[in-house]
Amino acid sequence: MHEMAIAGSILDSVLRHADGRRVTHVQLKVGHLRQVVPASLEFSWELITKDTVADGAPLVIESVEAVGACRACGEETPQAGFPFRCGACESFDLEIVRGNELLIDWLEVEDPVEA
Amino acid sequence: MHVKKIRVVEDALDANNTIARANRADFDRAGVTVVNFMSSPGAGKTTLLERALERLDDEIRLGVLEGDVQGSLDADRLAHHHAPVVQINTDAGFGGECHLDANMVRSALPSLPLEEIDLLIVENVGNLVCPAEFRIGENARVMASAVTEGEDKPLKYPLMFRACDFVLVNKIDLLPHLDFDMDAFLSNLDAVHPGVPCALVSARTGEGLDAWFDWLRDVAERGREAA
């Protein structure tokens, strides 16, 4: 159960970017190759944001599938499981180009300054 | 009230990674190479460490940072060796975390006599999931997997097996009593982490341990060259 630690780390970044403004939405990207349980992360987020400016802001998790780029033929193939294999030439020599993400993509804040 | 969207695109573990880089800079300055040693509970990390302390004592100045949720049982076991041993407990102010993170290691730095250490081995909290997510400022990562855990573990915990630079397959002295399929284990390991070096060892009988000592010598040597 490391989701609480991850939620705490996300909150640190979010509070820094929000700079005192109320946060209304946090968008996260989580790759399939990370061992993060979305329900557990959402629950941790709910607990850890209590009494902060991010209290009540949904943490929306966008799941990113694993994609491998073949070092032999250059083809990019989505990877559903192990071993990683190129869909075009069957090579096992792939570089993972997506699926390792654990990124805060964007957030939304209430801005007191009128646009 | 106007709503403003802020584009962030920042690693969610940015705070940890920043502290890990600071740890690494401090270790580099002191000329200390750091190994992050991970496994499930009971895979034999502490015994493998004891063997390394016995064997490498007169070659490399070793130090040990012991991470556990509670207590100092492991540090006590290692205390009679020459090497400095420091214990971190994750329940003391760190919420009983199931892994070490960069900040916990940072808090232990003042207790570590870095000037007396060339190679610091950090024994992480026994856990096959969480430690793999948190960098601590290490140069290399090694994991132990005991044959008593079964051959399916690489497929069940791929992040850990993918995160390490070396795998010790421990307790091979027990193979005659188990249904463990070594070929299946090695093929599962190769499926999740193609080409990762591994060694079949028994910390109890000493079989195969030269590969473990050689790997540590190698990491220490590369650390020295990089410094």
Q: Write out pLDDT tens, residues B168-185.
A: 999 999 999 999 999 999
Nearest CA to B35 out of B143, B108, B126, B109 is that of B143
Summarize pLDDT for B84-139 with one digit per residue, the tens.
Answer: 999 998 887 777 788 999 999 999 999 999 999 999 999 999 999 889 989 999 99
8 Å CB contact between A18 and A26:
no
User: Which band of pLDDT confidence, cut at 50, 70 and 90, is reported for residue B227?
Assistant: confident
Q: Do the chains contact at B130 and A2, CB–CB below 8 Å? A: yes
Q: Do the chains contact at A104 and B134, CB–CB below 8 Å? A: no
Nearest CA to B41 out of B68, B63, B64 is that of B68
- Percent of chain A at pLDDT exceeding 90: 90
Structure tokens that stand for B152 in this block: 């399916």
Distance of CA B81 to the CA centre of its chain: 19
Q: Is A15 on the interface with B (CB under 8 A)?
A: no
- Distance (Å, whole) CA A83 – CA A70: 13
Structure tokens that stand for B79 in this block: 């205390």
User: Which band of pLDDT confidence, cut at 50, 70 and 90, is reported for residue B82?
Assistant: confident
- Distance (Å, whole) CA B26 – CA A24: 39
Instruction: Return the residue of B nearest to A25 by Cα.
Output: B5
Q: Is the dihedral of CA A98, B36, B118, B205 positive or negative?
A: negative
Based on its alpha-carbon atoms, the radius of gyration of chain B, rounded to whole angstroms, reads 18
pLDDT at residue A114 tops 70: no
8 Å CB contact between B201 and B207:
yes
User: Which band of pLDDT confidence, cut at 50, 70 and 90, is reported for residue B77?
Assistant: confident
Q: Is A70 on the interface with B (CB under 8 A)?
A: no
Chain A interface, best mutation among B8, B99, B157, by max A CB count within 10 A: B8
Q: A111 vs chain B: nearest CA distance in angstroms?
A: 5
C-alpha separations of B181 from B171, B192, B212 in Å: 14, 17, 22
Q: Do the chains contact at B11 and A115, CB–CB below 8 Å? A: no
Residue labelled with tokens 């929306």? A60
The CA-based dihedral angle spanning residues A74, A80, A83, A85, taken in that order and rounded to the nearest 10 degrees: -20
Task: List residues of chain B with CB under 8 Å from any CB of chain A.
Answer: 1-16, 95, 97-99, 101, 129-130, 132-134, 155, 157-159, 162, 188, 190-192, 194
C-alpha separations of A15 from A39, A107, B17, B169 in Å: 22, 10, 18, 43
Looking at this predicted complex, what is its ipTM?
A: 0.86
- Average model confidence (pLDDT) for chain B? 94
Chain A interface, best mutation among B13, B40, B69, by max A CB count within 10 A: B13
Q: Is A72 on the interface with B (CB under 8 A)?
A: no
The mean per-residue pLDDT over the stretch B159-163 comes to: 94
E strands, chain A, where? 23-31, 59-64, 66-70, 76-79, 94-98, 102-111
The mean per-residue pLDDT over the stretch A39-57 comes to: 96
The mean per-residue pLDDT over the stretch A70-83 comes to: 94
Chain B CB contacts of A108 under 8 Å are: 3-6
8 Å CB contact between B202 and B171:
yes
Chain B CB contacts of A109 under 8 Å are: 3-4, 6
Q: Which element (helix H / strand E) includes A56?
A: none
Q: Is A48 on the interface with B (CB under 8 A)?
A: no
What's the confidence (pLDDT) of residue B127? 92
Q: Do the chains contact at A9 and B98, CB–CB below 8 Å? A: no
Q: Is A114 on the interface with B (CB under 8 A)?
A: yes
Q: B188 vs chain A: nearest CA distance in angstroms?
A: 8
